[in-house]
Structure 1
Amino acid sequence: MECDIDDVIIRGELPADLDITYFRNGPDPQFPPRGGHHWFAGDGMLHMFHVQNGRVRYRNRWVRTAKWALERREGRSLYSPFNPMQNDPITQEAPDEGLANTNVVWHGGKLLALEEGHAPFEIDPGTLESKGTWRYDGQFEGPMTAHPKIDPKTGEMLFFGYMVSGPFSAGMSYQTADANGALTRSERFDAPFASMVHDFITTDEHVIFPIFPATGSMERAMKGEPPLAWEPEKGTHIGVMRRDGSVADMRWFETDPCYVFHPMNAYTEGNRIVAHVMQFEEVPLFPHADGSPPDPEKAQARLCEWVFDLADNSNGVQRRYLDDISGEFPRLDERFTGNNYRHGYYGASIGGAGGLGFNAVAHQDFGTGRRSQHVLPEGDITGEPVFVPRSADAEEGDGYLLSVVYRARENRSDLMFLDANDVAAGPIACAELPHRVPYGFHGNWKYNS
């Protein structure tokens, strides 16, 4: 469903100083899936919340990729979620533009819908009209992560791609674009093995590429076995390079098998790199190589600290959990991306909720080591909490958290606004939609002027 709401009902009082547009992306299949359903496989659906003068205007639109258009024409699903060998033959007539269903970022004057297997897809920021694949004036090659990092000091955007040498290959890329959106760097290297590398980590001095044993295999795909699967015997390999260096200078660290969809942040401190990540003991949502399902106890993420000692020759990683609750979708005050910071936020499971349906928004204060949280009413589920500063020069953590929340009893969704300084106090306002927003992934915002 696509719709426009000119004046969303507001419960509470929106901050008068909020003058932003928040965009959120997520999967929303227009037809029943071909083969088994997978959360990651739906068509990209963008939701836009224009917040100004204490009011909210809403619009949502599917991203009109070639896949979306072909399936709309045929009136049915044509693509397998992860195995191209199982696509309908008619799909060969359409360009491969992917799903554009995972994240949406504003950079270089362009709004880009992202999904890690393909190039960015440009969207009109005012109308959500689909404009088509964006390849940086023809200079961009290969897929792009859905999680680029923007340097808060320079405006430079850093990003990578995996399986760039072909499906289920070990080839990876590292690229950068300046604040104006011009591609400034493009390098390639090989990972230790073909891995599903959803995200990466940056500091003001380093770039970190984590290669987990969630492997890709064309051999498995051709046999009808899981093309993406968990192979813990391969271990975890983490490549670290200086931002002013080259991929040829990559140093590889090794640690026990684990999986991380999303880091929170990291920083370089002398000869150490400290990273905070949401770590799983094994990858969720994907099977073992033999087809057996993941262990539900191990497929829960917890906030974990990684420390790399650059002066040590052991190439090991010190890891310790910082909390015992499960959670995901970590964010921070992005003005501190890649730098030492104090405040982090994530969706959390409090009181045994478990799984990937989070019933709380958690605030981790690294200065005090304490966690606070707002727990939703029973049955409600929150998405990713996105931080917006109260003003451009506000202190770190002084601002608001925005999150799309599903209201189970009413089968509809809100955009919830929390005071980031006092998450436990609960929402200061909610923009109440009359319909359900499908449980999705990531979003970002831009100033209206």
Structure 2
Amino acid sequence: MANFPDTLNFTGFNSPSRIEADIVDLVHEGVIPPELNGAFFRVQPDPQFPPRLDDDISFNGDGMITRFHIHDGQCDFRQRWAKTDKWKIENEAGKAMFGAYRNPLTDDEEVKGEIRGTANTNAWIHGGKLYALKEDSPALVMDPATMETDGYTWFNDKMTGQTFTAHPKIDPATGNMIAFGYAASGLCTDDCTFYEVTPEGELIREIWFKAPYYCMMHDFAITEDYALFHIVPSIGSWDRLEKGLPHFGFDTTMPVYLGVLPRREGATADDIRWFKRDNCFASHVLNAYQEGTKIHFDTPEAKNNMFPFFPDVHGEPFNGMEAMSYLTRWTVDMASNGDEFDSITRLTDTAGEFPRIDDRVAGLKHRHGWMLEMDMKRPVELKGGSAGGLLMNCLFHKDLETGAEQHWWCGPVSSLQEPCFIPRSKSAPEGDGWIVMICNRLEEQRSDLLLFDAQQVDKGPIATIKLPIRMRFGLHGNWANAEDIGLAA
């Protein structure tokens, strides 16, 4: 019997959904641009069964992929499980067999050595394939048209690392997917891998390198010539796992690094440079680019840990105010002789996370950025559906060229999920297009899909697509044009 725990992680808006469904022509208000023809894919952690232990964090739920197919002024809905090895084993057993988040010591003996990945962090499109991604395991391949699962890939059996990031990038010059893996030789190791994969799914480069210390390396960035890895002390160890502690904990006494790996042909681990700075928290990356010998790396930075479920290793209580993050530019100079940062500059006084750009300018100088804003000055009547419990209640647009900022508030009984940019056309200027995102209607226990003009978000959505069901808090998603994924209108 599926009795889920009566805890914050499994009740209210966070209650498991476990719905596979198809809905044609969702009800909507406003106008869906008739020229839009493609699909927005996103993923939510959604536990198939009650946890093996007393409670669990949302980051350990099974991956459920949602596709919103927008065409001819309408939107169709399809949702399917990402059927990982874990999902299949537990589905056959009829119960949870794997234990705590990234702690194999808590698993049933029958599943020792199996891939524990949940494919619950990003729904990514490359070369006409849908990749369901979780950074502790290989990439899971799904068919974007049928949404059936093919299985894990090692890219023509050339990938030797055990893990693949949930945040790949597409090189706009080559169309290749640039990626990496951490804990690449096994859990809690400092081994990392750098990958380059063609649209055909062939791995053409793999470089092994060492991180300064083992930590959660959730995201990274590219520029035209480099791959950039930020090392922030959300640290883990086998000692923590043996003690039954959460896999990660934040250490405010450790330094932060930015690794710069040349992407040129023939580069090796010996070519990486590590720049060092004082402690902070940073997870996601907006973008990075080069300017002469300088590299600019834009990331939401917080003074302290943003994840209360990965607590301070020294026992300090979670500090909500210090967990507020602000878009910040880290600059390093490759012409320097030392390991110091050139500068650290806050780009806005608006607190926010889940940053997104027009992905066509990945690694190039960017003008536009969108984020989920955390505006504590707005009235709040209901909370829920947001990462780490932080209220994400506004869509925020920053024009980095003019400095102009726009804000759209979703109201006192709603919260928002990550925005995604859709170009108006493949040749449209940067930032010319739409933003698509999910809004959690907390009072009604259901969700809406919102469409905005990307450079006029303060005017509110141009279309509100109404879902009769509730989308659990999701992590990341992406848009694909219909012709690129074999999806007919």
Normalised by the size of structure 1, how large is the TM-score? 0.96
Residue 324 (structure 2) pairs with residue 300 (structure 1): yes
Which position in structure 2 is the counterpart of 1:249?
271
Count of matched residue positions in the alignment of Structure 1 and Structure 2: 448
Of 339, 344, 347, 1:322 maps to 347
Q: Please give the per-residue CA displacement for 1:96-124, whole angstroms capped at 9, x wherever unaligned.
A: 15100000111123111100000000111
Which position in structure 2 is the counterpart of 1:20?
38
Inter-partner Cα distance in structure 2 for 1:351 and 1:192: 36
Task: Kindly indicate whether the alpha-carbon contact (under 8 Å) linking 1:109 and 1:181 is maintained by their aligned counterparts in 2.
Answer: no
Inter-partner Cα distance in structure 1 for 2:201 and 2:317: 42
Residue 330 (structure 2) pairs with residue 309 (structure 1): no
Shift of 1:292: 4.7
Give aligned-pair identity as a percent: 38
Equivalent residue runs for 1:27-426 within 5 Å = 27-35=45-53, 36-79=55-98, 80-92=100-112, 95-141=114-160, 142-244=162-264, 245-285=267-307, 286-317=310-341, 318-352=343-377, 355-426=389-460
Q: Please give the per-residue CA displacement for 1:242-265, whole angstroms capped at 9, x wherever unaligned.
A: 211332111110011122221101
Task: Kindly indicate whether the alpha-carbon contact (under 8 Å) linking 2:251 and 2:314 is maintained by their aligned counterparts in 1.
Answer: no
Q: Please give the per-residue CA displacement for 1:361-404, whole angstroms capped at 9, x wherever unaligned.
A: 10000011121011112121111110001111111111000001
Shift of 1:306: 0.9
Task: Kindly indicate whether the alpha-carbon contact (under 8 Å) linking 1:343 and 1:365 is maintained by their aligned counterparts in 2.
Answer: yes
Q: Please give the per-residue CA displacement for 1:10-45, whole angstroms capped at 9, x wherever unaligned.
A: 111100111111110120112222333212111001
SS of 2:59's partner is helix
Inter-partner Cα distance in structure 1 for 2:34 and 2:158: 42
Inter-partner Cα distance in structure 2 for 1:447 and 1:225: 43
Inter-partner Cα distance in structure 2 for 1:34 and 1:418: 41
Which position in structure 2 is the counterpart of 1:11?
29
Inter-partner Cα distance in structure 1 for 2:244 and 2:101: 13
Inter-partner Cα distance in structure 1 for 2:453 and 2:319: 36
SS of 2:336's partner is coil
Shift in CA distance, 390/357, structure 1 to aligned 2, threshold 3 Å: same
Inter-partner Cα distance in structure 1 for 2:247 and 2:442: 34
Shift of 1:405: 0.9
Q: Which amino acid aligns with 1:325?
A: T
Inter-partner Cα distance in structure 1 for 2:271 and 2:184: 20
Q: Please give the per-residue CA displacement for 1:197-254, whole angstroms capped at 9, x wherever unaligned.
A: 0011111111111111111111221133343111222211211122113321111100
Shift of 1:293: 4.2
Unaligned runs of 5+ in 2: 1-18, 379-385, 484-489
RMSD (CA atoms): 1.6
Task: Kindly indicate whether the alpha-carbon contact (under 8 Å) linking 2:101 and 2:246 is maintained by their aligned counterparts in 1.
Answer: no
Q: Which amino acid aligns with 2:172?
A: P
Shift of 1:158: 0.7
SS of 1:220's partner is helix
- Structure 1 runs (4+) deviating above 6 angstroms are none
Shift of 1:187: 1.1
Structure 1 residues 146-155 or 240-249, which shifts more? 240-249
Normalised by the size of structure 2, how large is the TM-score? 0.89
Task: Kindly indicate whether the alpha-carbon contact (under 8 Å) linking 1:359 and 1:379 is maintained by their aligned counterparts in 2.
Answer: no
Shift of 1:186: 0.5
Inter-partner Cα distance in structure 2 for 1:412 and 1:226: 31
